[in-house]
Amino acid sequence: MNASPPEGLAPPLAVLLELTHRCPLRCPYCSNPLELERARGELATGQWTRVLDEAAAMGVLQVHFSGGEPTARTDLEALVAHAAGRGLYTNLITSAVLLDRARIAALAAAGLDHVQISFQDSEAAGADRIGGYPGGHAKKLAAAREVKAAGLALTLNAVMHRQNLHHLPEMIELALDLGAGRLEVAHVQYYGWGLANRAALIPTRTQLEAATATVEAARVRHKGRLVIDYVVPDYYARRPKACMGGWARQFLNISPSGKVLPCHAAESIPGLSFENVAQRPLAAIWAQSEAFQRFRGTGWMPEPCRSCARAEIDWGGCRCQAFALAGDAALTDPACALSPHHGAVLALAEAESEAGREAFVYRQIGARIPA
Amino acid sequence: MTEGTLAPDCRPRLAPHVRLRFDAVRARQVLLAPERVLMPDETAVAVLQLCDGERSLAAIAAELAVRYQAPPAVVAADIAEMLQDLVDKGLVLA
Ligand code: SF4
Ligand code: SF4
């Protein structure tokens, strides 16, 4: 293969497979694109196993089976077994509402290393309203207990926003109660569905500060028992996060139909074209495809990033957010206080968070997104 | 949990969801955990390979002190510090 990578390009560490966009839930911050892919376009089992072979051969170490809801695919066990056979660390990212004891046992037998279950709130009424799925919370609790009973490692993923942040202490208690070794407190990120619902989700600055203090105290109190990872909404930060550890540096995302993306939201950026695993080897796409090369490294950067000491620390922040907030993916992420757009973004966040809209635009195929 | 260093008689082992394995592409050992990939250096790998839940911290230190011809007390202190960090991250149980 003549896919000679750019000088010094390291292999990716992880790949996330969106096995399907089908999901019984309708979370208003879903990370799937607004334009959801249909079931008939999904890759077949044999195509996914080839992707896993190629990923392992190029140095990928971890595979995240995600979606949509990955357990909606009946070949999930076969794919997990295949990945485990290639030495890949296997992680299942699930809403858990379709998981029962038998399925969990089959996944454990296939060699699954770890399960991450998302919770929409700490109690059923709020969780079922946010997820748009009556009865979902109770199913998640039952599934989480079965995951632990099967001896699998469990992470609880708590997606937080203005309408559930008051339950953060209870979420931490829930993680302890369920025996999770790790809790991800992830503030909603505002692209795609999250952006369409920003006015209903964005926390106030006061809420955010309280949440950060709660997490810091809980980390100390539960040290050695529960690891808490914390993803902040960077609208209120002074510097942006290093989105994906830098564009096209560590991570690959593959859509249900096989499109290879540098991050799950990359399709929100107009003018980028994405190659498909059905047409080209994964290693060649990683090394050479236009979408990966476009924002890789620091060569694309404008000022103020270009001459900034943090250029190789945060990589200029998030490209999708730069497009969403400043109208151009090739600009400094407006979450950065050095961006000329930062003041306007911060003012918008504060205004929306104080206005208190509650209604959601639920995720669904063909939903109408109000402007 | 108590703060500070591990007791000499504890028997450290990798947490059940953590794997140490050789990666042929990078030609090195890698430590894999949920959402984390660590690239331990040679000394850390030597320690982790002895963390089998049977050897005590003192026994691991004694073994490595011989291997690296270093004073056992110094080796023990270094290992305890390194492992404490991994315990705090939930990667090692002790
Ligand atoms: S975020 Fe919600 S709707 Fe989207 S895939 Fe996950 S569980 Fe389903
Ligand atoms: S100017 Fe660019 S590189 Fe510097 S901190 Fe802001 S986003 Fe990061």
Q: What is the ipTM of this complex?
A: 0.89
| Tokens 């919770």 found at | A119
In order, the DSSP letters of A42-59 are: SPPHHHHHHHHHHHHHHT
**Averaged pLDDT for residues A137-149:** 97
For B81-94, write each residue's pLDDT tens digit: 999 999 988 899 98
Distance CA A116, CA A180 (A): 9
Which of B26, B37, B89 is closest, CB to CB, to A227?
B89
pLDDT at A142 over 60: yes
pLDDT in the model for residue A371: 53
Confidence bin at B34 (pLDDT 50/70/90): confident
For A79-99, write each residue's pLDDT tens digit: 999 999 999 999 999 999 999
pLDDT in the model for residue A192: 86
Q: Is A153 on the interface with B (CB under 8 A)?
A: yes
pLDDT at A2 over 80: no
Q: Is the CB of A237 under 6 A from ligand 2?
A: no
- The tokens for A13 are 């560490």
| Chain A residues lying within 8 Å of B37, measured CB to CB | 13-14, 61-62
Q: Is the CB of A112 under 6 A from ligand 2?
A: no
pLDDT in the model for residue A8: 79
Q: Is B87 on the interface with A (CB under 8 A)?
A: yes
**Averaged pLDDT for residues A273-284:** 97
* Beta carbons of A113 and B19 less than 8 Å apart: yes
For residues A268 and A323, the answer to whether their CB atoms sit within 8 Å is yes
For residues A314 and A167, the answer to whether their CB atoms sit within 8 Å is no
Q: What pTM, to 2 d.p., does this model score? A: 0.93
| pLDDT over 70 percentage in chain A | 97
For A217-253, write each residue's pLDDT tens digit: 999 999 888 999 998 777 888 899 888 899 999 999 9
Residues counted in chain B: 94
For A184-216, write each residue's pLDDT tens digit: 999 998 888 999 999 999 999 999 999 999 999
| Chain A residues lying within 8 Å of B88, measured CB to CB | 223-224
